[in-house]
Amino acid sequence: MDKDRDHLESITHIRSIMERSTTFVSLTGLSGVMAGLFGLLTFVLVATKLGSVTISDGIINRIAAERDIQYFLAVIALSALVVTLLTALILTVRKAKKKGEAIWNSVSRRFAAHMFIPLCAGGLFTTALVLQGQYQLVCPALLLFFGLALLNAARFVQMDMFWLGLVEISLGVIAAFWYEAGLILWAVGFGVSTMIYGILMYFKYER
Amino acid sequence: MKLIIDQINKVFENKTRLGIMSALMVNESVDFISMRELLGVTDGNLSSNISVLEHNKYIKVKKRFINKKTNTSFSITKVGRNAFQAHLNALEELLKWRLK
């Protein structure tokens, strides 16, 4: 009988090691919540500056014509990116310390590579769109690349991230065809969805 | 029954060695420090169990120098993968048989 318990324990141990050695557990849902908040804040600032939540041809012409708006959008976009990444990093380091886990291990390295390679590609692609005046494609491109990055990195965290990725990709595709709603869809993707995902993850895995 | 017991690999009847093999089954390679943290064992415990597995040709040990520091990493061999799979099958069979 004791032998049986040993064997059962072996199986539990094997499973736990396999899971822990392939998932990055220090990522917290709170990062998602904060990213969502910054996303919504960005949306409010941009919509206020443009004086509209829909991207009409008039708005696109205004962005193309006014240097002031271009700089404002660039600064807002970069600040949102930096603040979001910094917050996520701080929260992750804090959680790793609390759990006594190494922040920079082989899993987190692979997670980072799978997440940031598509994200950087998306950033550069979006920059090219801006430089070529394709403003109506900026929101869809950001959504699509963000979704692909999530999809790609999900297997190092949990499959829930895969579903968030699919949501972002769907929003990106819709935004590509219906660019007038791009900004709103961006707010749904980067703000609302990300925040809901963060809250769900927090209650599912961290409470 | 005798046959199943024969398949239970004595080498894997140790928590650290079982852990090392489990990690290497699902990761291409794992370095010494990551492995030590993953399993929560001491340097000495890890080293001695690594030696046992290496001696059995179940794993490969690769030593490299990164910034003048040694970096040791482990990976599973074909022999190791087959042996571990056989061990898992035996565990499964054994539990199935006991539940009958």
A161-175 pLDDT, tens per residue? 999 999 999 999 999
Please indicate whether, in this complex, the C-beta atoms of B18 and A101 are within 8 angstroms of each other.
Answer: no
What is the average pLDDT across B77-85?
95
Structure tokens at A94: 């804090």
Residue A17 lies in a domain: no
Reduced to 3 states (helix: H, G, I; strand: E, B; else coil), residue B70 is strand
In chain B, what are the domains?
A: 2-94 (1.10.10.10)
Residue B5: predicted pLDDT: 67
Burial class (CB in 10 A: 0-12, 13-18, 19+), A160: middle
Residue type for A88, please? A
Give residue A111's domain range: 26-205
B41 touches chain A (CB under 8 A): no
Nearest to residue B17, comparing CAs of B61, B62, B58, B50? B50
B65 vs chain A: nearest CA distance in angstroms?
17
pLDDT for B3 beyond 70: no
Please indicate whether, in this complex, the C-beta atoms of A13 and B18 are within 8 angstroms of each other.
Answer: yes
- Does ipTM surpass 0.95 in this model? no
Closest residue to B27, CB basis, from A13, A14, A22: A22
Please indicate whether, in this complex, the C-beta atoms of B26 and A22 are within 8 angstroms of each other.
Answer: yes
For residue B29, list chain A residues with Cβ-Cβ distance below 8 A. Answer: 106
Reduced to 3 states (helix: H, G, I; strand: E, B; else coil), residue B60 is strand
Structure tokens at A85: 């990444």
Q: How many domains does chain A have?
A: 1
Residue A33 lies in a domain: yes
pLDDT tier for residue A1 given thresholds of 50, 70 and 90: low
The single residue listed with the structure tokens 């749904």 is A188
For residue B39, list chain A residues with Cβ-Cβ distance below 8 A. Answer: 17
Residue A64 lies in a domain: yes
Nearest to residue A199, comparing CAs of A35, A43, A25? A35
Best-predicted range by mean pLDDT (A89-93, A106-110, B94-98)? A89-93
The single residue listed with the structure tokens 């291990």 is A105
Let me know how long chain B is: 100
Instruction: Please write the tens of the pLDDT for every residue from A61-74.
Output: 999 999 999 999 99
Kindly provide the residue ranges of all beta strands, DSSP E only, lying in chain A, ordered along the sequence: none
Residue A158 lies in a domain: yes
Residue A7 lies in a domain: no
Residue A98 lies in a domain: yes
Residue A193 lies in a domain: yes
CA torsion B38-B42-B47-B48 (nearest 10°) is: -120
User: Under 8 Å CB-to-CB from A106, ≥6 apart: which residues?
Assistant: B27, B29, B30, B31, B34
Nearest to residue A88, comparing CAs of A166, A136, A157? A157
Total CB pairs under 8 A between chain A and B: 53
Closest residue to A21, CB basis, from B13, B27, B33: B27
Burial class (CB in 10 A: 0-12, 13-18, 19+), A191: buried
Residue A16 lies in a domain: no
Please indicate whether, in this complex, the C-beta atoms of B38 and A17 are within 8 angstroms of each other.
Answer: yes
The predicted model scores a pTM of 0.80
pLDDT for A133 beyond 60: yes
Instruction: Please write the tens of the pLDDT for every residue from A18-68.
Output: 988 888 878 899 999 999 999 999 999 999 999 999 999 999 999 999 999
